Amino acid sequence: MIHIPVLLQETIEALNLEKGKCIVDGTLNGGGHAREIIKRIMPAGTFIGVDLDKVILEKTERELLDEFPRYKNNLFFEHANYKDIADLIARRNYPKPQGIVLDLGFSSFHIQESGRGFSFQKDEILDMRYDQSSGNPVYEIVNSFDERALAGIFWKYGEERFSRQIAKAVTQARRSQKISTTRQLSEIVKSAIPGFYRKTKIDPATKTFQALRIFVNNELENLDAFLTTIPLVMGKGGRLAIISFHSLEDRMVKNSFNEMKKKKLAQVMTKKPVVADKKEILGNPKSRSAKLRVLEIL
């Protein structure tokens, strides 16, 4: 399945790209934004693609090197967490980036091809880790955390109003059988939610799955750590473009940008987040919840 990048043109324009610049894509995914960046900064530019998922990183690296063979000496790919971009640049002696983009959504690859249980639309093992070499898969979390801890995860990371009921249902269900697949968890969640709520457009399991994915990948902690390093990573005039997909992330980005503005470290280029127009939403429903915020370092 082809990964369709959201807010592509808006992001490309926001980065203020020019030939010769050094640009970092901190969440390479399927390379949707990367392709357009490479076209605009080459032949003398430097592109650094970073991703925590080694499988998709290697897949996209092969595709981009095949697509842009002339620029292979200017394209770099790193298996790393975007929160460590500052350390990565220093350690590898890369030039100071003049642009960084983060697309905080998970890709079509994760839903359709990874087999790691990112979606309840397919029956797969409950893993949800981007980097399978570290951390604990979701099936360990739902089978070992107590009811209170699970409710806390569902509420904090998914803003799930029925977090306590779902946590209780999970702990009761696992007494008779270990919870190991997306279908099992999805059915448990549905059983815990009142009938009237199941009739809404959003699947009842959506927020629970979101919460568990965010938790096992430390997504909010990673974003917070990254945001604190921005003034150190980028030089004057550098642009940061961040696309978020839910209120927790967007709130963090907004508050961090405003804090840097108060300290006169940067200026916020987007008074309000940029959102997808009707045409893009029709072609790519995922873009419906996307919000782009842009910062420029002073």
Residues 94 and 12 occupy one common structural domain: yes
DSSP code for 15: T
In a domain, 119, yes or no: no
Residue-wise pLDDT tens digits, 9-52: 999 999 999 999 999 999 999 999 999 999 999 999 999 999 99
Six-digit token string for 224: 């917070």
Residues 79 and 200 occupy one common structural domain: no
Provide the pLDDT for residue 198.
67
Residues 204 and 285 occupy one common structural domain: no
Distance CA 181, CA 229 (A): 38
Residues 185 and 262 occupy one common structural domain: no
- CA 229, distance to chain mean position in Å, is 18
Residues 203 and 255 occupy one common structural domain: no
Provide the pLDDT for residue 194.
86
Residues 232 and 103 occupy one common structural domain: yes
Residue-wise pLDDT tens digits, 78-119: 999 999 999 999 999 999 999 999 999 877 777 777 788 988
In a domain, 191, yes or no: yes
CA-closest candidate to residue 127, choices 197, 225, 234, 216: 216
> How many domains would you assign to the chain?
2
Three-class secondary structure of residue 16 per DSSP? coil
Please report, to the nearest 10 degrees, the dihedral formed by the alpha carbons of residues 296, 103, 129, 3 taken in order: -160
Q: Which among 179, 199, 216 is the end of a domain?
A: 216
Cβ atoms of 36 and 63 within 8 Å: the answer is no
Residues 22 and 73 occupy one common structural domain: yes
Q: Supply the CATH number for residue 66's domain.
A: 3.40.50.150
Q: Is 144 exposed, middle or buried (0-12, 13-18, 19+ CB in 10 A)?
A: exposed
Say if residue 1's pLDDT is above 60.
no
Q: Which among 184, 216, 248 is the end of a domain?
A: 216
Residue 73 neighbours by CB distance under 10 Å: 8
Enumerate the β-bridge partners of residue 102.
Answer: 242
Domain of 286? 8-110+218-297
In a domain, 284, yes or no: yes
